[in-house]
Every structure is written in C-alpha cells, then in structure tokens.
Chain A
Amino acid sequence: MSAFLDALFFQAGYNAALVAVGAALLGFAAGAGGSFLFLRNRALVSDAVAHATLPGVGLAFIVMVALGGDGRALIGLLAGSAISAWIGLLAVEWMVRRTRLSEDAAIGAVLSTFFGLGVVLLTVIQGMSRGRQAGLEDFLLGSTAGMLLQDALLIAGGGLLVVTAIWLLRRPMTLVAFDPAFAAARGVDVRRIDLAMMAVVLAVTVVGLKLVGLILIVALLIIPPVTARFWADRAERVVWIAGVIGGLSGWVGAALSATAPALPTGPIIVLVATGLFVVSLLFSPTRGVTAAMIARRAFQTRVHRRQGLLALARNEPIHDRLTLRILRAEGLLRGDGVATEDGQAACARIARDERRWSVARRLHKDTALTGRYDGLTPIDDVFTADEITWIDTHMLAGGSA
C-alpha cells in the first residue's frame, strides 16, 4: 500500500515518476482526443489507425539501418509509424467514399492487412544481421523500462499539441459530429474536419506507442469517452471529462504497476480505465444501470398503485400480487383486502382525476394537452387550476344531464 502511495505521489524514484507523469498526460490527450470520433460514432477508426502504425515502425527501422544507423532512433520510428498510419487512414476513407463498402468492413480490411504486413516486417528484421532489433516488439504492448526524460517530454509536447488542436476545433468538430448535413450547409468542410479528428487520434497513437503499445492505445482512445458519456450531457463536457478520466487512469495505473516489478504498465492503465468504466456503467445517476433499474421500479410502482386504486374505486377485486403488496405497504389497503381510510381518500382522488380527464378529452380543444393523457399523469400536471374549474363545471353539467 505504501509503495502504491509513494508511486502515486512521485516518491518511488525518478523513472517511476517520469512514467506516472507521462502516462497521465498521455491518458488525458487520448481521452479527449478519442472523444470526437466516439461522438461521431466512428470509434473503431482509432483501431485501424493503431494497427496501421506497425509496418511504418518496421520500414523505418530497415531504412535507418540501410542508412548506416542502428535503427533505434525513436523519432525515426515514430515518424515511420505516423506515415503508415496516415496511409491506412486514407485507405479507409478512400474505400468508403469510392466504393460501396461500409466503414466497418473497410476498417477491418485495412487493420488486418497493415498489421499482417507489420508482423512480416518485424519477422524479417529479426533475421537481419545488422541493427539492434531487440525491443522493437515493445511497440506492440508498450514498455516503460528505460523511459527517458526525452520520452516523457515527447509525450508532454505531443499531448499539448493534441489538446490545443481539440480546443481550437471543438466547435466545428461538435457541429460535424452532431449534424454533418447542417455543418456542410454552413460551409464547414466536413471531410477536412473528419480528417482532423483522425489526425488527432493518430498523433495520440504515435506518441503513446512506446508507453502503452499499439494494441492497447485503442482502449485509451475509446474507454474514457464512453465512460465520460455516463456523466455528461453536453459534448464539450464529455471531451474534457474523458480527458480527466484518461489522465487519472494513466496516473493511477502507472503508480499501481510501479508497486511490483512484474506488472506491465500499459495493461494496468487500461484495466484502471475499465474499472472506472464499470463503476460509471453501474452507478451513473442519469444513464447507469442502477439508476435505470430504480426508475423502472418507481414507474412500475406508480402503475400498480394507480391500477389498484382504480380497481378499488370500481369495487373490482385485485388479483395482482405486486399491486396488493404495494397498496398494503403504503397503508392504503388492510390485510383483509378492504381499503383503509387513506386508501378510500386516494381512491376518490383518482376516480375524480379519471372523470376530469374523460371530460377534458371530450371537450377541450387543445389536442397537445389532452394528448398527454396516458392513464398515469395527474390532470393537475397538465391543466391550470382555472381550466380544471372549467372542466369541473362541465363534469357537473354532464352528470346532471
């Protein structure tokens, strides 16, 4: 526990502190950066981007070795990965625009082709006599071993760039994600904004390759926005909350993995993010599973109470067990099935409500109001007091006629 707290507050050594800061920054950039693709219902594009980086890593290594280096310059490897990911993206975009393929099929095709090519290249590289191949496979699952200050600076710089781009483009991106037809009619270049969303994701992927690897970076791009959606009903908030969730996952995950030598950082970060997702899924007050269950139960109770009271008012027997239980629990019905005093009052109220509704639906002109009758909504919620007085006059007139 104390090892965890040390790591959490950067007391676990220089390398661990670098990793924690780097992971938090990367998590923030990834969470915010993945949000717009998620809001555009295109989250899987980031999967294609990530897998399409691999051949670039391999090719960059081979080119650098051919030029006489040892092939390990990080900046060269990342540039290579960015170029091949961009080609992959354009391939997806081109296929969707020029053929009848749907986007998910295009993503599947590009993702597997590029990943396959990358694995072939890595195998070829393992057999090469020159260059220092060891560690290239870290790009698959990430590695924090030997994280340098310059790596952390790269993540910080790249992350800052990504966040700035998101902030600058938040309005057109929101517009395009919500209503592309309207955006285009306003003169927004929808294709270019789409490419910008993908470029943001690409930048995050490239920057995060070394730390979490190309397979798991996808999780950091998708899970935080999905989680944030449970807590926000406005696009911009989703973006920044996703950033915070991503950053928190990175920080806590890095600290957790620093507590034991054998815990891999990238996967732990993803598991922390998943934990936050599961908590949100269960307990979000507006969209969570628990809230939905409670709301459903409350609704069910209202329906059964109303049905039961209506049956009592008409002297009909109640057979439904749940109805009986609810009426008894609320003190409206005695054990022997006779209404209590409260129950009788409630019956009278509800019977009057029904009579008022039936008059209103027959006589009131505004169909928008009378259309709100659903058997459950009290008439006082729909009509004003003077209108109800008007309804009551007609009710009496109707009763005497």
Chain B
Amino acid sequence: MADLTLLQSAEPLDPASPLAVRGLTVSYGEKPALFSLDATFPVGAMSAIVGPNGAGKSTFLKAVLGLIPRVSGDVSAFGRDVDRVRDRIAYVPQRASVDWDFPTTALDVVLMGLYGQVGLWRRITGAHKTHARACLDRVGMADFADRQIGQLSGGQQQRVFLARALAQDADLFLLDEPFAGVDAATEAAIIEVLKSLKAEGRSVIAVHHDLSTVADYFDHVMLVNLRRIAEGPVQTTFTAETLAEAYGGRLGAVQIDALSLQGA
C-alpha cells in the first residue's frame, strides 16, 4: 500500500504537453499489451510511435482516448483529463476499422468531423459545408466530395479520414498507421498536411511502421514493445541500440545498417 500512495503523490503530469501518460498498463484478458508505460510528447512537433507488430502501438492510442479500458495509469492531455479536451483531439483510426460499403459520401464523412460544433440539434449550414470542402481541398480530394466512400481507393479513403480530422480544428492529431497501404502520392500529400499542421503549432502523434522514413518525417520518437524502450528527439533516440532492443531478433543487423543511423 505504501508504494501505491507514493505513486499517486508523484508530481503532476507535464501540463504543457499535449499528451502525457504515466504508469499506463492496458490488458486484453490477463495478457498486458502495454505495461507501466510513461511518455511525454512535445507540443508543436511530429512524434512517431514505433515498434514491432503487436507491441501495443495502436493499443496506446486507443487507451489514451479511452476506447479500451486502462488497468492502471494516468493520462493527461494539455494538462487536463482527456474527457474534458476531446474537441481539441482529432483521431484518425486505422482504415480497416470501417465498413466501406456504408452509404456515405466523402463530404458527409468530413462533416462528421464537425460533430462537436454542429451538435445534435443545429442544422448543417452552407458554412459547415464550405469548411468541409476546404478540408477536402487541403488533402487534394476536393473533386471527390460527392463520391460514395467505397468507390475511393485506399489512399483516397485515408485522405478523407485526414480531412475529417482537419475539420475538427484540433490541436492534437492522433493517427494510427496513416501510411499503411497507401500509394506514394498519398503518402506525400499526407506528410505535407501534417507538416503544415506542425507549422501552425499543432502537435501530431502517429503510429508508424516504416523505419526508413522515421528520421525524415518526425522530430520525436517513442519506441515501444510492451514497455517504453526509449523516447526523445529522433536524432538521439532512434539508434541502432534502441531499435535492436525494441525489435529484438526480428530486425537483422543488415536492416539496421541500411537505416545508416548514428552509433550504428
């Protein structure tokens, strides 16, 4: 008991951070997917969450948002409880989580991002639609506004999802594998938008699986495998040692060499 009291009386989580967690444990059944994880993401930066398959990367985002229950741990966004700042957090789930035959157009999907502003009762006005179209335009999808969502390619669907997050005008963007299964043009378009968000002082945190682009795209990185392996600026944190620790034998020496990292 004494230990628990000690934990609870620890210093408050960094109120300047868009997302900070301490002692986060999440479990499916009795097998933890994340164990006692600490993290503090910097504001106005692009952060990557990196780790092997099944390391708990997506689980981290879901647990932070309260989509799956936490066994223990504190989460704070902008120094407050996540429930109180949901409007400031935009979430882009994995594409696979959606029924693609659902009767909805690209524009309707983006309008869903305005759910917080429009609420239950008010009408969707022309101004809302103009805003939604502008968001589609920002991801290069303005011409596809009236297409049924299932008719779009994987990359186009991902862009529409990003536009929905943009419509929300949030300060923190959480993206779950935004580049999974998209074409090169879409990847370039998405990274362009994310960089412009960063330039506006917003924070981006993405689960990322392509190790070769981590150093190009991101400022800050957290390596995860059940526990936090390392966290910090990409230059100093994304090293051969930390990668070997996160991936174990799954990542061969050749692959690590190919990334031409410092300290390799």
Contacts and interface: CB of A to CB of B under 8 A. Distances in A.
Interface of A: 39, 41, 168-169, 171-172, 174-175, 177-182, 184-188, 229, 232-235, 237-238, 366-368, 371
Interface string B79-122: 00001001001010100011100111100110010011010110
Nearest to B155: A368
22 contacts: A39-B103, A168-B121, A171-B115, A171-B118, A172-B115, A179-B112, A181-B62, A181-B91, A181-B97, A182-B93, A184-B66, A185-B86, A185-B89, A185-B91, A186-B115, A187-B86, A232-B103, A233-B104, A234-B104, A234-B108, A235-B102, A235-B108
Contacts of A172: 115, 120
Nearest to A175: B112
A367 B112 contact: no
Interface residues of B, number: 30
A368 to B, nearest CB: 4
Contact of B104 (A178, A180, A184, A188): A178
B183 A367 contact: yes
B113 to A, nearest CB: 9
B65 A185 contact: yes
B63 to A, nearest CB: 12
A233 B148 contact: yes
Given A182-B93, A182-B112, A368-B185, A235 B120 contact: no
A57 to B, nearest CB: 35
B98 A178 contact: yes
B10 interface: no
Nearest to B97: A181
Contacts of A182: 91, 93, 112, 164
A235 to B, nearest CB: 5
B156 to A, nearest CB: 11
B116 A186 contact: yes
Q: Which 5 A-B pairs have the closest CB atoms?
A: A368-B185, A185-B91, A187-B86, A181-B93, A185-B65
Contacts, number: 77
B83 A187 contact: yes
Contacts of A232: 103
A181 B67 contact: yes
A237 to B, nearest CB: 7
Query: Taking chain B's interface residues, is the majority helix, strand, or loop, or is none over half, making it mixed?
Result: mixed
Nearest to A179: B98
A367 B184 contact: yes
A159 B205 CA distance: 47
Query: Taking chain A's interface residues, is the majority helix, strand, or loop, or is none over half, making it mixed?
Result: helix
Given A184-B66, A233-B148, 15 more contacts: A168-B120, A171-B120, A174-B112, A178-B112, A179-B98, A182-B93, A182-B112, A185-B91, A185-B174, A187-B83, A187-B86, A233-B105, A234-B108, A235-B102, A366-B185
Given A39-B102, A233-B103, A233-B105, A184 B67 contact: yes
B75 to A, nearest CB: 13
Contacts of A181: 62, 67, 91, 93, 97
A237 B103 contact: yes
Contacts of A41: 99
Contacts of B174: 185
Given A182-B91, A185-B86, A371 B102 contact: no
A157 B118 CA distance: 29
A238 B62 CA distance: 31
Interface in B26-63: 62
Interface in B103-148: 103-105, 108-109, 112, 115-116, 118, 120-121, 148
Contacts of B99: 41, 178
A120 B102 CA distance: 41
B120 A367 contact: no
Nearest to B183: A368
Contacts of A368: 183-185
Nearest to A228: B103
Nearest to B174: A185
Contacts of B67: 181, 184-185
B103 A179 contact: no
Given A184-B65, A185-B89, A367-B185, A179 B97 contact: yes
B115 A175 contact: yes
B262 to A, nearest CB: 32
Contacts of A371: 183
A66 B97 CA distance: 52
A181 B97 CA distance: 8
